[in-house]
Structure 1
Amino acid sequence: MMNHVLHLKSLLSGRTFRPDEIDYVDPEFGPDGIVDVVYDYDAIKRAISRESLRDNRDASIWRYKPLLPVRPDAPVPPLQIGWTPLYPAPRLGALLGLRQVWVKDDGRNPTASFKDRASAIAVVKAQERGAEIITTASTGNAAAALSGICASVGQANVIFVPEKAPPAKVAQLLAYGATVMLVRGTYDDAFELCLQASDAYGWYNRNTGFNPYMSEGKKTATLEICEQLGWQAPDRIFVSVGDGCIIGGLHKGLKDLMALGWIERMPKLMGVQAAGSNYLAEAWERGEDVLTKPPIDAQTVADSISAGLPRDRLKAMAAVKETGGAYVTVSDDEILTAIPALARGCGVFAEPAGATAYAGLVKAVEQGLVSADERIVVLNTGSGLKDVAGAMKGVERAGTQAYRVDADLEDLKRVMATI
């Protein structure tokens, strides 16, 4: 049985390819020749509808299988990926003078990050090809997602991460049994080495901004958001941006929904970048061409969104421009401050990259980019347990501390008297 993919379209040349004609990219442009997956929407309409979804009890990304680049009969990993909660956050909204704010918590995915969505697609596509080994380069979350989902189906994998990746993320990789390469260098160095290795050894490559099917996994978040809101699309979605694949994927999901007639308007996508890793925000503000703009030296506490040269920059720029959104830049201090603010305002514990989206909402309100009556979704892309050191820096900035007491009521009374 076939899926509903018509062809793959090059973003640079406009050429189209059969899915079996190329492995990943437009060969004319090498690794930069990213392609888009184009669907037969008429066929999709015959296979799935808003009404059929209402009766669907599959609480995972696979509820949208006809909208994904996999065969209808393709076996999928057993882990429950996606259909993460969308929480109303009235107290956060009130603090910012906003009437309707929701937080989508993708820290609730099996490996505690948004990246499970793409990695699930990668595993299915790799097994379609009979790949013996899957590989990826990552700052940590995509790697953990891939290795965890591979572990669930017994699939071998090789992971490339910068040697300075947070210990909690490296621990996940090792616990899942991945073959881990700690690269002496940056994420961009790890990415290049991964490309070379996959070519040399014939491994299936999951790399963001290279494998076009990763956007298709990531788009499922917007499918969920709109369904969870009763198909009344929000006005704006705030998301942190590093490599650009997530925001590009969100855009793809929204375009799918518009093409199917399931939503009536396109939400504005608000990309939030750390000041020390603001390649896309800088290009957007200056009107620069991301095909010719050179890499920057990326440095930020939000390791998950640290990218000197965003690999999915074409889709990421289009996501903001075509939806009438904007890029917002926040400092590392603002990111760390957002961790306890988000946790206390709605109970969602985010790692620095996840809290960046909320920091961006705060900044956008300050800059007058958001009006009080707009319906806002903030996307948390990873659990705070991914980077406990970052969380501790955040609570220190909030002036919160633990108190040491003896196992004695009188000593407790002494401490309570000082609080």
Structure 2
Amino acid sequence: MKNVKHLRCVKCNKTFSVEPGIYTCKECGPKGILDVVYDYEYIASRINKKILSESKVNSMWRYMDFLPVQPDGPKPPLRVGWTPLYRVDRLGQQFGLANLYLKDDGLNPTASLKDRPSAIAVAKALEEGYDTVACSSTGNAASSLAGNAAAAGLKSVIFVPGRAPQGKVAQLKIFGAIVISVQGSYQETFELSAHAIEKFGWYNRNAAINPYLVEGKKTVSLEIAEQLNWEMPDWVAVSVGDGCTVAGVWKGFKDLYEVGFISKIPKIISVQAEGCYPINRAFHLNKEFEPMEENTIADSIAVGVPRNPDKALCAIRETKGIAVNVSDEEILEAMRNIGNYAGVFGEPAGVTAFAGIKKAVAEGLVDPKETIVCCITGNGLKDVANGIRAAGEPIKISPSLEELEKVLEKI
């Protein structure tokens, strides 16, 4: 991989060569998350906006020069990425937002943004000769890994906390994964997966450990930039759990800035649920995170002990961004808002970013005239129970036109 220089620890800045099995800093241990450092001059010599505009690859692999995989190596066959970016004027007008966009990553193969890092994980596992991939997840990372692994002919072993929604568990089973439902917290689930991966020698897809997976997540930013014709928005709002997704969003824009494709990096709006906001609390208190309970309907971002806080906090701070916490009721309202006025069905964690946008504007933190992109990270069919909770039950009547007329008169 000529485009990659080395891996660098976010704690001590020590560098490591790119070799199989190197995930975290040998000096700092598990907290020493590594960052992939690129040769931007080399990338700029190989790719430009014109080449991209002529690309026939309508997936995340159109950005191969920005990714830490062998250019001619094996890739999972599912079409991941190049999801739509909608300008949603009707939704924006409803809340006084002049320039609002939704990036709908619920339209990925397994219906979440997590397909992006999972595609990288499967590609790296194939490169390195593994036959089994594994991870812990609250749901979306699990189903994305299982789906991409199945398509590529790899086995998958998935650890989920007992609270994972049935829609996500069903996906895992359909994709043929070995599913271990851990009757405990996400933290306990993660720890068990880490011990099992080490003991049995599986490829580690845990995004908070594996430095390559953030690189998959960053492709959402590369797409946003290209789809906006390289005119950067003022803000990008992201639902935040472990910290990996927001770190990836930042990394993507940073890469584009370094090769001269864009002239500014958007500010980040980090949005967490009030029932679990360790990263946002660390940002506001300007200190390291402290563990929190996982008490929110937004299961995909209910991470009380985030594994990638350093990169997440850098993303907010270096972009001069903000951190906003929202209640479960505000999340449910965001599900209704986006569905009613934009026709997009997002799961609770998938729409949390929009709830944060509304709150940030209401509190004067964001100018409603600015351009804002909201990342919808997962499809609502992942969690139909909360979809019904947000929208309400259907009207039930007997098969009678007269009764229907009476009901319609009351609406």
Which TM class, normalised by the smaller chain length? over 0.9
The equivalent of 1:347 in structure 2 is: 343
1:143, distance to aligned residue in structure 2 (A): 0.1
Q: Does 1:374 align with 2:373?
A: no
Partner-residue secondary structure (3-state), 2:275? helix
Amino acid at match of 1:193: L
Looking at structure 2, the residues matched to 416 and 96 of structure 1 have their Cα atoms a distance apart, in angstroms, of 28
Looking at structure 1, the residues matched to 391 and 407 of structure 2 have their Cα atoms a distance apart, in angstroms, of 20
- Indicate conservation of the 8 Å contact 1:235/1:374, yes or no: yes
The equivalent of 2:15 in structure 1 is: 16
- Indicate conservation of the 8 Å contact 2:134/2:204, yes or no: yes
Structure 1: unaligned runs, 5 residues or longer: none
Structure 2: unaligned runs, 5 residues or longer: none
The equivalent of 1:407 in structure 2 is: 399
- When the two structures are aligned, how many residues end up with a matched partner? 411
Once the two structures are superposed, residues 64-88 of structure 1 have per-residue CA deviations (whole angstroms, 9 ceiling, x without a partner) of: 0011001110121111100000001
Hey, which bits of structure 1, 4+ residues long, moved more than 4 A? Answer: none
1:29, distance to aligned residue in structure 2 (A): 2.1
Looking at structure 1, the residues matched to 368 and 134 of structure 2 have their Cα atoms a distance apart, in angstroms, of 45
Looking at structure 2, the residues matched to 37 and 10 of structure 1 have their Cα atoms a distance apart, in angstroms, of 9
Looking at structure 2, the residues matched to 296 and 274 of structure 1 have their Cα atoms a distance apart, in angstroms, of 11
Looking at structure 2, the residues matched to 318 and 415 of structure 1 have their Cα atoms a distance apart, in angstroms, of 54
Once the two structures are superposed, residues 247-306 of structure 1 have per-residue CA deviations (whole angstroms, 9 ceiling, x without a partner) of: 00011101100001100011001100000111011111111123xxx3111211000000
Once the two structures are superposed, residues 87-120 of structure 1 have per-residue CA deviations (whole angstroms, 9 ceiling, x without a partner) of: 0111222122221000000000000000000000
Partner-residue secondary structure (3-state), 1:307? coil
Q: Does 1:253 align with 2:255?
A: no
Partner-residue secondary structure (3-state), 1:417? helix
Q: Does 1:365 align with 2:322?
A: no
The 1:346–1:21 alpha-carbon spacing in structure 2 relative to 1, beyond 3 Å, is closer
Q: Does 1:418 align with 2:410?
A: yes
Once the two structures are superposed, residues 314-362 of structure 1 have per-residue CA deviations (whole angstroms, 9 ceiling, x without a partner) of: 0000000000101100011111111011111211100000110110001
The equivalent of 1:96 in structure 2 is: 95
Looking at structure 1, the residues matched to 50 and 14 of structure 2 have their Cα atoms a distance apart, in angstroms, of 36
- Indicate conservation of the 8 Å contact 1:103/1:379, yes or no: yes
Partner-residue secondary structure (3-state), 1:211? coil
Partner-residue secondary structure (3-state), 2:77? coil
Q: Does 1:117 align with 2:113?
A: no
Q: Does 1:319 align with 2:330?
A: no
- Indicate conservation of the 8 Å contact 2:242/2:305, yes or no: yes
Q: Which region of structure 1 is more displaced relative to structure 2, 12-21 or 252-261?
A: 12-21
Looking at structure 2, the residues matched to 301 and 357 of structure 1 have their Cα atoms a distance apart, in angstroms, of 14
1:32, distance to aligned residue in structure 2 (A): 1.4
The equivalent of 1:203 in structure 2 is: 202
Q: Does 1:269 align with 2:260?
A: no
Looking at structure 2, the residues matched to 60 and 286 of structure 1 have their Cα atoms a distance apart, in angstroms, of 39
- Structure 1-normalised TM-score? 0.96
1:36, distance to aligned residue in structure 2 (A): 0.2
- Indicate conservation of the 8 Å contact 1:334/1:359, yes or no: yes
Q: Does 1:329 align with 2:328?
A: no
- Structure 2-normalised TM-score? 0.98
The 1:100–1:8 alpha-carbon spacing in structure 2 relative to 1, beyond 3 Å, is same
- Indicate conservation of the 8 Å contact 1:3/1:69, yes or no: no
Partner-residue secondary structure (3-state), 2:262? coil
Partner-residue secondary structure (3-state), 2:346? coil
